[in-house]
Amino acid sequence: MALRPEHEIHTRRKGRNIGVGLMLAGFVVLVLALTFTKVTSGDFEMPRAEDLR
């Protein structure tokens, strides 16, 4: 019961999935970096309770 060789479409799909995964990971890293930069800069402050009304 030998494993069949992978079909060409599966090879292409795997390559595309890896590319999409890398792009998604890059986007997540970009959002985290921007968030970290905004929070650690001196001008960020939590909204006061009276501003929320």
Q: How far apart are CA 16 and CA 5, in angstroms?
A: 19
Q: How far apart are CA 30 and CA 24, in angstroms?
A: 10
Average pLDDT over residues 36-43: 82
pTM tops 0.85, yes or no: no
Number of Cβ within a 10 Å radius of residue 26:
10
- In this predicted structure, what is the pLDDT of residue 44? 66
- Longest Cα–Cα distance of the chain, Å, equals 71
pLDDT tens by residue, 8-29 = 888 889 999 999 999 999 999 9
Token representation of residue 13: 């799909």
Rg of the chain over Cα atoms, rounded to whole angstroms, equals 22
Amino acid letter, 17: N
Average pLDDT over residues 31-43: 87
